[in-house]
Amino acid sequence: MNIEIRKADRKDFPFISELALCSYSFGIPSQRLSETVIHETLLREALDELFKYYVTHSDIDILVAFDSEKEERAGYIMVLMNHQDQNTGERQAFIHDLAVKRKYWGKYVVHRLIDAASKRAAEKGLRWLVGVVTRNNRRALQTALKALDFEIERYQIMKNLKDDDY
């Protein structure tokens, strides 16, 4: 297996859309109740807008992992390269989305995507690469903390108001 990382182009958009639809449920916390059809519709619309933006702007990077031996795409990462931290005001690279085909899990594709995104962010003068991992996506969290040198920076908390008598 020979994984190459390259900048996405228009021909990659259908692949990215389909993989995003297959993997979006990993980003929904298990406590949240949601309609699958609504999410798929919203996701398709958001991706269409994102792709239009990507073609004309340089503050977002979409990178694709390509298996040159099998001649197929293995995954992607979308990084907002001029994201502003809400607390510090610092510019940072923010991982908007990341997905890898299941058959490539455990094959270091995520590592290659993160390394490439980190390099591109550093070249743009950014100091931080940040992302959000849903609590129930333990596999992604474990990989980020143990193998990719990420650290926990904050905790987001939520309270289900429907369970209380308000």
Which pTM value belongs to this model? 0.85
Low-confidence residues in the chain, pLDDT < 50: none
CATH number at residue 53: 3.40.630.30
User: Could you tell me the two tokens for 73?
Assistant: 């795409």
Q: What is the pLDDT of residue 158?
A: 82
Three-class secondary structure of residue 132 per DSSP = coil
* Domains: count for the chain: 1
Sign of the alpha-carbon dihedral angle for 12, 16, 17, 19: positive
Read off the amino acid at residue 72: E
User: From the centroid of its chain, how far is CA 124?
Assistant: 19
Residue range of the domain that includes 118: 3-163
Pairing of strands 91-100, 72-84: antiparallel
Q: What is the pLDDT of residue 93?
A: 97
Find all residues with CB under 8 Å of 116, minimum gap 6, and list them: 5, 63, 77
Q: What is the pLDDT of residue 142?
A: 95
User: Could you tell me the two tokens for 157?
Assistant: 């908390």
